[in-house]
Amino acid sequence: MRTRKTDILILGSGGAGLLAALAAHDRAPELDILVAVKGLFGKSGCTRMVQGGYNVALSPGDSAGSHFLDTLEGGAWINDQELAWTLVSRAPDCVRRLETVCGCFFDRNPDGTIHQKAFAGQSFDRTVHKGDLTGIEITNRVSEQLARRGVPVLEEHRAVALLPARGGEKRVAGALLLDIRTGEFLAVNAKCTLLATGGGPTLYRISACAQELSTDGMTIAWEAGAEFCDMEMVQFHPTGILTGEGLQITGTLLEEGLRGAGGHLKNALGERYMARYDAGRMERSTRDVVARAGYTEILEGRGTGRGGVFIDVSHLGREFVWKNFKGMAERCRDLGYDLAGGPVEVTPTAHYMMGGVKIDPACRTGLPGLFAAGEDSGGTHGANRLGGNGVANSTVFGEIAGEAMAAEAAGAPLLPFDPGAARRAEEAALSALGGEGSPYPIRAALKDLMWEKVGLRRTGARLQEAIGEVEALRERAARTRAGGGKAYNLAWQHVLDVRNQLAAAELIARSALERDESRGSHFRDDAPHPRPEGLYNIFMRKEGESFRMERRPVRFTRLRPEAARPAPVSSTVD
């Protein structure tokens, strides 16, 4: 096993990892910073896939207070309000730095101000964008800045475990990485470690995420004893492209800007079915409502023969569609659809995990030395994330994590990691190698059961069945051994992937069973309404071979649900 020392180790190079590395370097350029990414730098993860944009209050007619209330209402009032306020209050300066420091150039109005478009679930058009390819703009420009600063990057290195400090010190002292190209292990000793690997609900049959994501960061944090919150809250986007059976591209997004611009959702009968579910907001309702509406139309027989519904923007005009949604129009054309000319068949698609590792507003977890940002962390979005708050979340909290780690690492000693823990983690990863088993039937079974029993509509009975089936699949996965050698063995990597996905699946199912009401993205057919006593968060932590779960009342540190739309909230973060 090779070893390496660094001051700051960043796992992941999406929006959170990129902004963390940039902020840490610019605050303390004398520190050693190392970025490790499972895929290729600047070409993997979900931030690059962001089409729609970035929510931020920039207009004189808008305010951080209004953005804050939209975020709480969208999250069904179980958000961590300090995290939500940190998001909305820091977003304006973060966008300005993306432009002035990194060179991002977002779309403009004729007067030169940044253009902001309409997204669902918001009281103001506040979504900053670069056409419908916003994520590529952010990823490319920030990656260039890290290259200019000479920040080292390890590509195709996956994290397989967090490493505790030697001698019983309760601190994370780095991580064990697996070089996918060679099959060799690298133990990185670090003062501060950031989880920024992205969540990615690829454990569902239809998903919109980068397919290399497999909840790696969440799984290693769980094994290390980090506390998690609200894992039952999984977001399904309403409009994933429906393609031929078995094609991996099924579920790829048609972004929310289509609905914000006036797109119509129709069932196979030609009805604008959102009138049945939210007649006031129609297609501009929040994602949880719209996705569940489409799923219900399909379940009740008003969907297409392939199990979909339609989105139609043709009435907006061909010139408008191609000017404003060029990326999506081209993607649809490649798949045989004419976005500007008629309806496109779509399906709800698993998109984002609102739950995750519990953090404070400085991105610290409950484990000293470990930070988390982006989709690995939970609490900011509550029960449902507003479209456009995702890339804002990753970049804002990525910056915060970088600043906090730089400040901590500057004055902290480098504690050595426990070599016994590193060896045990290496042995656990190698246990997935050296046989004839295949992870693919297990992965397929997991995707099906999560879609059918832990998906858009749930019941207690189905959740109980799912927990049992996940446990059985975990036993199968533990016995599975991929054949072949260690170098670039994708079957081996997929065994490790499915083990991680199964761990996350159990957390989602158990947390969903615990929440015996419907709220936001979590809908129970056997408890179809939110309950007044449901304003709580579900916390989980591993304890030995078992776990502890508890409900804690939501802390209304700034606003209460009964509050009318307030004046802007004070800009001081407590």
226 DSSP assignment: -
| CA gap 71, 114 in Å, rounded | 22
* Nearest to 561, CA basis, from 383, 442, 417, 399: 383
Residue 237 bears catalytic tag: yes
CA 427, chain centre distance (Å): 29
568 DSSP assignment: P
DSSP run (H or E) holding 347: strand 344-353
SS (H, E, C) 454-478: CCCCECHHHHHHHHHHHHHHHHHHH
Residue of 259, 287, 351, 558 marked catalytic = 259
Cβ pair 22, 403 in contact under 8 A: no
Question: Crossing angle for the helix pair 460-479 and 490-514, nearest 10 degrees?
Answer: 150
* Nearest to 348, CA basis, from 421, 251, 257: 251
Residue of 126, 158, 171, 237 marked catalytic = 237
Cβ pair 535, 77 in contact under 8 A: yes
Place of tokens 């923007």: 313
Cβ pair 358, 228 in contact under 8 A: yes
Residue 129 bears catalytic tag: no
* Nearest to 388, CA basis, from 173, 189, 124: 124
Residues composing the chain:
574
Which DSSP string do the residues of 91-152 spell out, in sequence order? HHHHHHHHHHTT-----B-TTSSBPEE--TT-SS--EE-STT-HHHHHHHHHHHHHHHHT--
Cβ pair 558, 573 in contact under 8 A: no
* Nearest to 394, CA basis, from 220, 244, 197: 197
257-284: string of b/e by CB count within 10 Å (b at 16+)?
A: bbbbbebbbbbbeeeebbeebeeeebbb
Tell me whether residue 415 is exposed, middle or buried, using C-beta atoms within 10 angstroms of its C-beta: 0 to 12, 13 to 18, 19 or more.
Answer: buried
Q: Please give the single-letter amino acid code of residue 167.
A: G
Alpha helix stretches (DSSP H) within 168-254: 216-224
Question: Crossing angle for the helix pair 389-411 and 15-27, nearest 10 degrees?
Answer: 40
Tokens of 92: 């304006």
CB atoms < 10 A from the CB of 451, how many? 18
| CA gap 512, 423 in Å, rounded | 35
> Which amino acids are annotated catalytic?
237, 259
